[in-house]
Amino acid sequence: MTVSFTLNGKSTTVDVPLGRSLFDFLRGSGIFSVKFGSDKGEAGCDTVLINGRAFNASLVLMHSVAGKEVETLESLVEDGKLHPLQQSFLDAGAMQSGYTAPGMIMSIIALLRENPYPTEEDIRDALAGNLDRETGYVKPVQAVMDYLASRCIELVEMKNTNKNSC
Amino acid sequence: MAEMKYIGKKTPRVDGYSLVTGQPVFADDVHLNDLLHIKILRSPYAHAKIVHIDVSEVLKMKGVVDVITHKDITPRYFTTAGQGYPEPSAYDTLILDSKVRYVGDRVAIVAAESVEIAEVALEKIVVKYEKLPSIFDIREAVDNPSILHKGEDKAGIADFNRNIAGHFDAEVGDVKKGFAESKQIFEKEYSLPYVQHCHIEPHVALTWIDENNRLVIRTATQVPFHVRRIISRILDFPMSRIRVIKPRVGGAFGGKQEILTEDVCAAVTLRTHRPSRLELTRAEEFHASRTRHPQIVKFKIGVNEDFTFNAIEMNILENSGAYGPHALTVMSVTASKSLGLYRSPNIRVNATAVYTNLPVAGAYRGYGAPQGFFPLESLVDEIANELGLDPVELRHINYVREGDDVPIAQILGEGREGFPVVIRSCGLHQCLEEGEKLIRWNDLRKGKKSGIFRRGVGVAIAAQGSGIAGIDMGSVFIKMNEDASFNLNLGATDIGTGSDTAMAQIAAEVLDVPVEKIIVYSSDTDLTPFDAGAYASSTTFISGGAVKKAAEEAKRQILERGKKLLKVDKAEIEDQYVVAADGKRISYQEVCTKTLYTEEQMQIMATASHTSFDSPPPYNATFADVTVDTETGFVTVNKIVSVTDIGQVINPQMAEGQVEGSIPQSLGYALSEFLVFDNKGSPLNLNFNDYHIYTAIDMPEIVTKFVHTHEPKGPFGAKAVAEIPINGPAPALANAIFNACGVRIRELPITPEKILNALPKD
């Protein structure tokens, strides 16, 4: 079966057996940020974005991504520079083993596209499908809050700069 | 002591960049050509003999490369437990056996060109079983006519004829007399369920034969050196031809202190000469890997007029499941950690581990200690309430103090008699004081307890250890490079704890270079020296001790070479320079470069090993604030305060992370997690929908604090942090529930039904 879709910004056409999951395809293609955690996707460490929304790659079959845009954690780093949310995860110590970090980060990216000003409750809701046995979710949630705070400061500074220039 | 630059300071993780960008650093993040995929046929019966097994149809299937049954493997009994050698666990396990002892036990191994083919092949294996009577009730195991391990060839089983995997008893003082003298005696029994580690990365191993005809095992393990030793023996393959690589590990908690995949993978690779991969499914993780040991624990405490404890007696009945990895040592930790918490002149313990036809228990964070502290800290709370005392006050009266001996802990050791135990640092007083404030103890404890929603608070204190005294060993190799960076190669196994970073901080502090200058490479049996492994909260304390010694020796060499190059007798190290009294100085870079290339050439390098005959206990006080809905029995946890004494904190952010990660595991233990079995021993909840671990929306507010103590035996005064915070939350919650609604549940987990059934009916 031939499937054409966009993978991390690149148009991609692949030939895959019928019934191949997106998870198996991605890992088979060397996209290793997508992790196995459970047989039915309940762990959430296989979270990717499809047309901007978070999905469990294990539960998505390849034929269903035809014509769609698939994004994984690999798309976040630009010119060797971390996405500010990744930097927040690093600074807040939001990882222990780091096995679940890619899935959590992708869930948050999906949240932020839908709701750029989430509350802590929104953040927790967005992470509810990302099981983690190491952090108690304390520092991951903190990392997102820190990221939002730094972005607010940036916005305020931008506004101030604009005022000054007026 | 001089102000420290790197110890106790916020330090980003040395592996942080690779983790946050999803680099291929975990065991399974590799593509191997010609890879075989392995699946295991598992027993549908709890206890049966395999009377016939036919794989002929399977071998004819396209894509099936190898099928292994018990007939194909030379039987060599071993323990799956990766412990010090000789192991204190029974040699009662085979790679494949002609008998199965629990639902999920291994029956056969299939290696195929794809996972799908291997899965289909499993269904085509024809097996005839002769069912045997099963034991599911832990109380019926001893002297049951059905015997799990007729142990002619097996070693280390306490009494196989009676299904006893391990046993000990010990006494200090005279407990009978102690109870006779006590003013009041309290006695209760508590029960702890089957729970599973739930590390999100499953057990996974890949094996291949490398270009030098050696067997490489790339595996998610806590114990690479034990893997090498055990695989060499059970597959009769020379150790010199085995290399075990531990990449980053996605959580372990004791579950990866076991050989559960490596033996199968290695057997397939040695038979087929092809790379092989075995990853357990989540269902297999739940019932066919390892669990925490279920126990029934009885405590009896005799109290004097002045509320001091005069006698403590503990009885442990432990369910080891179908095999005995860690059976003896886990319950010896159950006893030694809880019995080491309070002063009492008379102490007795009697412990028995039994075999049943249920999943196999093993090492799990806390290693038996949580099973001891839930009963002990529940009973101490019950005593305080009976006597009309503040539960915090009763603890202040009785816990151990700095300078105390703990003779019972010495007698119990871990699997064999240990070493004298003296408490040199104990921050329990501060832990309780700090925690009381943070939880608003007095207000909430004495607040109104009526209406539908009732709020209460509870407390529990606990101890753990720092490595295993006289058993654990860590070793290190360090070498200097021209740019004043250092390679730190060590056996210590970072399993997601961040120990690589903590080790780099220790080396950086000694050598007076920034942490970025320390290049850490850990746990590869070819490239790093030995380490007993990442368990028993040992890495910071034991391996950290080795790092400190090796770094000190490297620093001595730098100073010596610097003095020679400066042609002076006396000099000091200052900010990456060797500085003489007259102000002449030479940089680290120059010292190293000249030493490598021109002046009396040599490599500045050092090795060191470290062991300890002490295992200084870290201490913790955990407070829980809960609301009980008396109409449904549902418990809402409002807040957990965890205050911990781990001596000098090496990396505050990572230490907090250890506490924050422990709490939900213990909350699950207390409230929501347990494996459920049908009446044939089949487990029923083998996924994360049916087995509930804490999610981001279930979490209460968490407050983490450390109190300052200095442990003279630890590197820079440090003790261990990994396990101590998991002991407190479960008993603190049970005590808070009692405080809220007067219901005392002595069997975990505390489900809404249990609370509802215990509430007085209107």
CATH number (domain holding residue B744): 3.30.365.10
Residue B601, pLDDT score? 97
Residue B413, pLDDT score? 84
Residues of B with Cβ-Cβ distance to A74 under 8 angstroms? 21-22
Residues of A with Cβ-Cβ distance to B20 under 8 angstroms? 82, 86, 89-90, 95, 98, 101, 105
Q: What is the token pair recorded at B434? A: 């700090």
Check: CB of residue B712 under 8 Å from CB of residue B424: yes
pLDDT band at A165 (very low <50, low <70, confident <90, very high): very low
Q: Which amino acid is at B453?
A: F
Nearest chain A residue to B496 by CA: give it: A97
Mutation site, A138, A139, A141, A144, interface B, largest B CB count within 10 A: A138
| A90 → closest Cβ in B16, B201, B664 | B16
Q: Which amino acid is at A107?
A: S
Same domain, B527 and B587: yes
8-state DSSP, B409: H
> What CA–CA distance (Å, rounded) separates B544 from B548?
6
Check: CB of residue B48 under 8 Å from CB of residue B131: yes
Helix (H), strand (E) at residue A71:
strand A69-71
Residues of A with Cβ-Cβ distance to B17 under 8 angstroms? 82, 90
pLDDT band at A166 (very low <50, low <70, confident <90, very high): very low
Task: Report the share of chain A in percent with pLDDT over 90.
Answer: 87
Helix B652-671 and helix B729-741, axial crossing angle in degrees, nearest 10: 50
Phi, psi at residue B177, to the nearest 5°? -65, -40
| B200 → closest Cβ in A43, A77, A141 | A43
Same domain, B652 and B680: yes
Inter-chain Cβ pairs, chain A and chain B, closer than 8 A: 170
Helix B652-671 and helix A138-165, axial crossing angle in degrees, nearest 10: 130
Same domain, B618 and B606: no
Buried b (16+ CB within 10 A) or exposed e, B28-48: bbbeeeebbbbbbbbbebbbb
Same domain, B603 and B526: yes
Q: How far B681 CA lies from chain A's nearest CA (Å)?
A: 22
Q: Would the CB atoms of A96 and B22 count as touching at under 8 Å? A: no
Residue B192 domain flag: no
- Final residue before a domain boundary, out of B580, B610, B640: B610
Question: Quick one: CATH architecture of A76-166?
Answer: Orthogonal Bundle (1.10)
Angle at A11 between CA A7 and CA A15, to 5 degrees: 85
> What CA–CA distance (Å, rounded) separates B642 from B648?
17
Q: Which amino acid is at A119?
A: T
* Structural domain span for residue B323: 295-468+614-758
- Final residue before a domain boundary, out of B610, B640, B671: B610
Mutation site, B20, B364, B705, B721, interface A, largest A CB count within 10 A: B20
Residues of A with Cβ-Cβ distance to B31 under 8 angstroms? 28, 30
B374, B378, B381, B385 alpha-carbon torsion, rounded to 10°? 170
> What CA–CA distance (Å, rounded) separates B36 from B585?
60
> What CA–CA distance (Å, rounded) separates B288 from B40?
11
Q: How far B66 CA lies from chain A's nearest CA (Å)?
A: 23
- Final residue before a domain boundary, out of B583, B610, B637: B610
The domain ranges of chain A are: 1-75, 76-166
Q: Would the CB atoms of B695 and A43 count as touching at under 8 Å? A: no
Q: Would the CB atoms of B687 and A140 count as touching at under 8 Å? A: no
Check: CB of residue B477 under 8 Å from CB of residue B607: yes
Residue B231, pLDDT score? 98
Residues of A with Cβ-Cβ distance to B250 under 8 angstroms? 35, 97-100
DSSP annotation string for B426-443: --HHHHHHHHHHHHTHHH
Mutation site, A42, A47, A97, interface B, largest B CB count within 10 A: A97
Mutation site, A16, A21, A42, A99, interface B, largest B CB count within 10 A: A99
SS3 B498: coil
Fold entry, domain A1-75: Ubiquitin-like (UB roll) (3.10.20)
Mutation site, B200, B673, B690, interface A, largest A CB count within 10 A: B200
Global ipTM: 0.96
> What CA–CA distance (Å, rounded) separates B203 from B279?
6
SS3 B386: helix
Phi, psi at residue A50, to the nearest 5°? -120, 120
Same domain, B76 and B113: yes
Helix A101-114 and helix A138-165, axial crossing angle in degrees, nearest 10: 40
CATH number for the domain including B90?
3.90.1170.50
Phi, psi at residue B503, to the nearest 5°? -65, -40
pLDDT band at A164 (very low <50, low <70, confident <90, very high): low
Same domain, B351 and B234: no
Q: What is the token pair recorded at B303? A: 């109290």
Residues of B with Cβ-Cβ distance to A132 under 8 angstroms? 200, 696
Residue B368 domain flag: yes
Q: Would the CB atoms of A135 and B657 count as touching at under 8 Å? A: yes
Same domain, B517 and B576: yes
Q: Would the CB atoms of A93 and B656 count as touching at under 8 Å? A: yes
Q: How far A102 CA lies from chain B's nearest CA (Å)?
A: 6
Task: Identify which of B451, B457, B344, B327 has the alpha carbon closest to the alpha carbon of residue B405.
Answer: B344
Q: How far B698 CA lies from chain A's nearest CA (Å)?
A: 9
> What CA–CA distance (Å, rounded) separates A67 from A65?
6
Residue B2, pLDDT score? 67
Same domain, B535 and B598: yes
Same domain, B314 and B231: no
> What CA–CA distance (Å, rounded) separates B165 from B163?
6
> What CA–CA distance (Å, rounded) separates B285 from B250?
14
Same domain, B629 and B605: no
Nearest chain A residue to B701 by CA: give it: A138
* Residues 6+ away with beta carbon under 8 Å from A97: A134, B19, B201, B248, B249, B250, B251, B495, B496
Q: Would the CB atoms of A95 and B653 count as touching at under 8 Å? A: no
Phi, psi at residue B354, to the nearest 5°? -120, 155
Angle at B261 between CA B259 and CA B264, to 5 degrees: 105
Residues of B with Cβ-Cβ distance to A125 under 8 angstroms? 696-697
Beta strands B346-355 and B164-172 are antiparallel
Mean pLDDT of chain A: 94
Residues of A with Cβ-Cβ distance to B697 under 8 angstroms? 124-125, 127-128
Q: Which amino acid is at B123?
A: E
8-state DSSP, B293: P
Q: How far A87 CA lies from chain B's nearest CA (Å)?
A: 8
Q: How many CB atoms lie within 10 A of CB B60?
A: 9
When divided into structural domains, chain B yields a total of: 3
Same domain, B577 and B666: no
Q: Would the CB atoms of B282 and A39 count as touching at under 8 Å? A: yes
SS3 B216: strand
Residue B415, pLDDT score? 77
Residue B178 domain flag: no
Task: Identify which of B189, B619, B726, B622 has the alpha carbon closest to the alpha carbon of residue B392.
Answer: B622
Q: At which residue do the structure tokens 């790093």 appear?
A: B528
Same domain, B480 and B618: no
> What CA–CA distance (Å, rounded) separates B264 from B227?
12
> What CA–CA distance (Å, rounded) separates B702 from B438?
11
Q: What is the mean pLDDT of residues A38-62?
A: 95
> What CA–CA distance (Å, rounded) separates B281 from B276?
16
Helix (H), strand (E) at residue B298:
strand B295-303
> What CA–CA distance (Å, rounded) separates B424 from B295?
31
Using the Cα atoms of residue B98, residue B103, residue B105 and residue B110 in order, give the sign of their dihedral.
positive
10-residue averages of pLDDT along chain B (762 residues): 87 94 97 98 98 97 98 97 95 97 98 97 98 98 96 87 96 98 98 98 98 98 98 98 97 97 98 98 97 98 98 98 97 97 98 98 98 98 98 98 94 85 97 98 96 98 94 96 98 92 97 97 96 88 96 98 97 96 96 97 98 96 98 98 97 97 98 98 97 97 97 96 97 98 98 96 72
Residues of B with Cβ-Cβ distance to A93 under 8 angstroms? 12-13, 653-654, 656-657
Residue B13 domain flag: no
> What CA–CA distance (Å, rounded) separates A139 from A141?
5
